[in-house]
Amino acid sequence: MRRLRRENLRSLFRESRLRIEDLIVPIFVDETAKGKREIPSMPGYYRLPIEEVAKEIGECMDLGLKAFIFFGIPKKKDEVGSEAFNNDGVVQKAVRIAKKEFPDSVVITDVCLCEYTSHGHCGIVKNGRILNDETLPILGKIAISHAKAGADIVAPSGMMDGMVKSIRVALDGEGFSEVAIMSYSAKFASNFYSPFREAAESGYKFGDRKTYQMDFHNSDEALREIELDINEGADIVMVKPALAYLDVIRRAKERFLVPLTAYNVSGEYSMVKSAIEKGWLSEEIVYEILVAIKRAGADLIITYHAKEVAEHL
């Protein structure tokens, strides 16, 4: 077996490859921020005021990164997350700028309520319960406002049943049949999201997300979630988190012939970054991890490491 591992031959026989085009860059746009602000639990990652968005996207485009997923931190929150579907909201503004300055960029928007609701849940709340069907029309409104701003792809992340179909119908009804849907289909109720909740100020005031996000003991169920989303019209499906869920990524890839995204989430980033900062792990571990996610079967990866890896590639 060592014959093909010789220095000059080795790269010819690589089975998996990581391309810059496989990476999607998360962008946090903060309506309350004056300048660029580092996220304490995510060393090297920032929340950007709207005015900084074009510069950031430009830097990424120069590195060959062309796909972005936008998250917003609004000035005000309320019970129903009205800012999420405000045509002049923080994400809508950022998307307009991105598409105007960089028409070739691929703009994806996270469609969810948790950053916009006062209680921090991903759906409408009544008597301490998160309501499914009442939330769906709001998700449709958010998706339409993102499409109007110029989003290429909308990405519902709230794990409400029927969200993909509602959004598809809503978009088509407004003439946005070309806007694609990337669904966070198999999103687990995970401990790996806590740095994101600080980054996006989307922590919840009561309870947890276990009535809508998936139980991490299950992977058959993840396949059922993905199948439902495909049947409802998802163009791209997602498994999230990535690293502790490579088995789910692999099963999904073997079973479904649709593009599959893996989300290398905030906690995975923070874990690796802090160990690198301490000098306990080398930076090369980032590339190894992303290749592993590709090898498991992901087509695309959303990752906070995108810029550093693009430089390396």
> Tokens at residue 288, please?
């190894």
**148 belongs to the catalytic site:** no
d(Cα 95, Cα 27) in Å, to the nearest integer? 11
Catalytic residue among 240, 273, 294, 307: 240
Catalytic residue among 93, 141, 165, 187: 187
Q: What angle is formed at CA 47 by the lines to CA 241 and CA 266, rounded to 5 degrees? A: 15
SS3 245: helix
Smaller CB separation from ligand PBG, 101 or 308: 308
d(Cα 47, Cα 248) in Å, to the nearest integer? 31
Shortest distance, CB of residue 195 to ligand PBG, whole angstroms?
Answer: 7
Shortest distance, CB of residue 172 to ligand PBG, whole angstroms?
Answer: 24
Q: What angle is formed at CA 74 by the lines to CA 71 and CA 75, rounded to 5 degrees? A: 160
What burial letters (b/e) apply to 278-308, b meaning 16+ CB within 10 Å?
Answer: eeebeeeebeebbebbbbbbbebbbbbbbbb
Smaller CB separation from ligand PBG, 265 or 296: 265
> Tokens at residue 21, please?
């085009």
Smaller CB separation from ligand PBG, 75 or 210: 210
d(Cα 179, Cα 187) in Å, to the nearest integer? 22
SS3 48: strand
**93 belongs to the catalytic site:** no
> Tokens at residue 300, please?
């695309």
d(Cα 225, Cα 208) in Å, to the nearest integer? 20
Smaller CB separation from ligand PBG, 150 or 158: 158
- Which residue's Cβ lies closest to ligand PBG? 196
> Tokens at residue 213, please?
């996000």
Smaller CB separation from ligand PBG, 26 or 297: 26
* Residues forming the site for ligand PBG (CB under 6 A): 110, 112, 114, 122, 157-158, 193, 196-197, 202, 209, 265-266
Q: Which residues pair with 66 in a beta bridge?
A: none
CB-based contact 29:305 (threshold 8 Å):
no
Smaller CB separation from ligand PBG, 176 or 263: 263
Catalytic residues, which ones? 187, 240
